[in-house]
Structure 1
Amino acid sequence: MEIDIQEKMSPHRWRHSLGVAQTAKDLARFWGGDQEKAWLAGILHDYAREVPEDQLIKIALDHGLVLLDEERAHPVVLHAPVGALLVQHDLGIQDQEVLSAIAKHTVGGKSMSLLDKIIFLADMVEPERDWPGVEKLRSLIYRDLDGAMLEALNGTIQYLKKRKQAVHPLTLVTRDDIRGKNRGDS
């Protein structure tokens, strides 16, 4: 399967996916998650990342996904849920935990599982990532996973607001859901 997946990605995307897969596996080992599922979701998380935006929209609509204004304005975020659909269709992956982690890796989702969080964060901190604050997040993910999620989500929200881009509603739901769990009132 690895060769088939690699052929669907540019060399840059393949290196990124390998970095996410290894980071996810390391995080799963540390946090007591399933290392094989983490590696698989990591290697497949960007399966649809290089699909043209018009095709992402078409595939999403063809599969009955309801598109939000934020997704129509920035269709690239659809590569996550569309990627999960394509991985299931093209590769026969049926594991719902893996598919969920792929689908939620861009904007999050309510009640994120350990694997969902691992893939979301591994995508942000894999070794080739270099952005202001990445080292802080890399350190935090081994001390407080939910704290790292909040740091990542708040950073994404601030980044989008600075660029005057809409924040996806699921990103806000994810942040509020994790905040609620940390306060104990979920």
Structure 2
Amino acid sequence: MEYTTNYLKMSRVELLERVQMQMGERRFKHVLGVEEMAIALAGRYEADIEAASIAALTHDYAKERDRDEMQELIRKEGFDLDLLNYGSEIWHGPVGAFLVQKELGVQDDLILDAIRKHTVGASEMTLLDKIIYVADFIEPNRDFPGVAEAREIAIRNLDEAVAFETKHTLHYLIEKNTKIYPQTIATYNTWVAKS
């Protein structure tokens, strides 16, 4: 895929190199899988394929960053300090969007918001937000009970896929007695509990 200069002042190959430097081989393989699925979903739902590619390739940009570095950025850069009550599984979305903007020069708000929201969703999600949220969950390297059903739902109805993923994720967190980030509950209330 050839990138225009609409979103980024570098080629896809250059972006891949920069992203790969931020993570191990296993994580990079996951990122490529998310891109593959995001492009497929963008084609299916008539979204901007280039934006989907860039958001997918950069969604885990901060995933393997040092925890202390992320905590410092949260404190120093004006993030909601409540983030510090949760782990890096939550932090890497908003911190990643900040770093993608700062280090890679991505300025597009839709792409940055998709990176911010890919871990916990949101009560309001754009088409690109939903594509990245779902693609991260169903990419080809994922193998867990329910992933095949999630893939089928994603092809049929993206909103239903968001609901399925959110419900599955909450169930997992509850089973593990994990503290749940409030935005995850807001996502559930909007996309699952629609009564």
TM-score by shorter chain over 0.5: yes
Give unmatched runs, 5+ long, in structure 2.
1-13
Query: Of 71, 85, 93, which aligns to 1:57?
Result: 71
What's 1:47 paired with? Answer: 61
How many pairs align?
181
Which whole-Å CA distance do the structure 1 matches of 2:25 and 2:87 have between them?
A: 24
Structure 1 unmatched runs, 5+: none
Distance 2:105 2:72 in 1: 21
Q: Hey, what's the Cα distance between the residues in 2 that align with 1:53 and 1:131?
A: 27
Give how far 1:9 is off. Answer: 1.7
Match of residue 139 from structure 1? 152
Segments of 4+ moved more than 4 angstroms: none
In structure 2, what is the Cα distance between the partners aligned to 1:53 and 1:154?
28
Q: Give matches, 1:1-186, under 5 Å.
A: 1=14, 2-68=16-82, 71-179=84-192
CA contact (8 A) 1:24 1:42 kept: yes
Asked if 2 retains the 8 angstrom alpha-carbon contact of 1:57 and 1:72, the reply is no
Return the alpha-carbon distance in structure 1 between the equivalents of residues 172 and 91 of structure 2. 19
- Residue identity opposite 1:89 in structure 2: K
Percent identity over paired residues? 38
Residue 54 of structure 1, CA deviation: 2.3
Which deviations, in whole Å up to 9, do the C-alpha atoms of 1:104-134 show, x marking residues without a partner?
A: 0001123110100100110011010111111
Give 2:37's aligned amino acid.
T
Cα shift readout 1:24-81 (whole Å, capped 9, x = no counterpart) = 0110000111111001100000000001222222111211011326x52423310010
CA deviation vs aligned residue, 1:81-116 (integer Å, no higher than 9, x gap):
000000000011001000000010001123110100
State the 1:179 CA deviation: 4.4
Q: Secondary structure at the match of 1:106?
A: coil
2:167 touches 2:192 (CA, 8 Å); kept in 1?
Answer: no
